[in-house]
Every structure is written in C-alpha cells, then in structure tokens.
Amino acid sequence: MNESLKAVNYGGQISLIGVLTSGKGEISTGAILMKNVRVQGIYVGSREMFEDMNRAIALHKIRPICDRVFPLESVRYALKYMETGAHFGKICIQL
C-alpha cells in the first residue's frame, strides 16, 4: 500500500482488490491526505461465486460487447480512445 501511495499522482486513486494478507500493517495516512488520494476497496466475491458466475456465462452464452479492436502496434491510440470515454463495451488489443 505504501509503495502505491508513493507511485500515485496527486488527486489519484488506489483500488484495493481483495485482501491477500491479514489486513494489518502501517499505512501512511499522511500521504493519502497530502496527495488528496482516493482509496477504494473492491470486493470480488468468493471462489464459489466466481465458479457460479462462469457456469451462468457458459449456460447463457453471454459474450462481452466489443466496441473496437486495435492492432498491437496501435496500443497508444487504443489508450487515447479509452481516455475519451466514447466507447461502449470493451476496447480490445489484437495479438
């Protein structure tokens, strides 16, 4: 967490996904305040929930919506496109 606080820009965001340790440790709250950082926890669910979701996706043949596909050499343009927020669905990179 403290490494992320060093790396994040002023006014940036850190997303905590899951808890892989005991949840204990020292966090530099001063860095959060001084850099005006938003810290958001994200709960992704249990393994059982993940497996249930995958069964439902397969059963109902759910496919993601793909807005645009960029060739690998156009990653820079894909990222710029994502920044615009004009997309609906996934932005894909073809390998």
Backbone angles phi, psi at 25, to 5 degrees: 150, 165
pTM of the entire predicted model = 0.51
* Beta-strand relationship, 90-94 and 38-42: unpaired
- Tens of pLDDT, residues 41-62: 888 888 999 999 999 999 999 9
- Tens of pLDDT, residues 74-94: 999 999 999 999 999 999 999
- CA angle, 69 then 72 then 74, to 5°: 75
The pLDDT, as a whole number, for residue 44 is 83
Distances (CA, A) of 24 to 21, 36, 87: 7, 23, 39
